[in-house]
Amino acid sequence: MKSKNVVLVGLAVAVLFAGVGTLPLAAQGDRHQLKGTYFSVGEQACLVSPLGFTNQAPNNAALAFVQSSSVQGTLRFHADGTGTAQFRELLITHTPAANAGATSTEQSFSFTHVIANDGTLTLVTGAVSGTILTGSLTGLTFTLTGFPPLSGRISRNGNAIALSTTDPTVETLTLGPPASISLPRICHRERVLIPIHVEDDLGRLP
């Protein structure tokens, strides 16, 4: 009976360590590294001011309008502090804007990330590239620059990350040719991330 218990304990330990090997590095005890693919969902709202902002207030309030959206997608974190992301967004432009309505987009970007000694994760996004998928502007491309950093915490077991914006930052959404229209805006965002298993281009799991 004793030898049988030893075998069972050995199998349990082997399964435990096999499972740990599939978790993101942050869940394996290294609080300064993050590696793996995460599924992300979140919401955001943006105050858009075509004539720009002064001290975070629209330069012409009569022309300003609000957009809100929900997003979902994946972020792939690399241990060297870089990463890539792909997202789908459902966006609503609210009245009284002349272009009120709904649309959807797909977008991608690269980012860098760092984990501070206190466990705070900061994600800095590069320029976002996207395409409008539905509505009267279907097929139009756009870029988003000045995307503010997202910061937050990783759960104790590494199975969840919560991020949000903390400071109002003016970013610029530029509709591509033939439109070439730039729209300054200030957005607040929140994201929740959970680790998933996604094969890379060579068919390997991260």
Domain locations along the chain: 2-196
Cα gap 202→79, rounded to integer Å = 18
From 5-14, 69-78, 85-94, 124-133, the region with the lowest mean pLDDT: 5-14
* Mean pLDDT (the chain, rounded): 84
- What does pTM read for this prediction? 0.79
Using the predicted structure, report yes or no on whether residue 90 has a pLDDT greater than 50.
yes
Averaged pLDDT for residues 151-161? 92
Percent of the chain residues past pLDDT 70, beyond the cut: 80
CATH number of this structure's domain 2-196, picked from the four choices 2.120.10.10, 3.40.50.1000, 2.40.160.20, 3.40.50.300: 2.40.160.20
**Which tops the pLDDT comparison, 162 or 11?**
162
Decide: 128 and 111 in contact? Cβ < 8 Å: no
Sign of CA dihedral 138, 52, 124, 191: negative
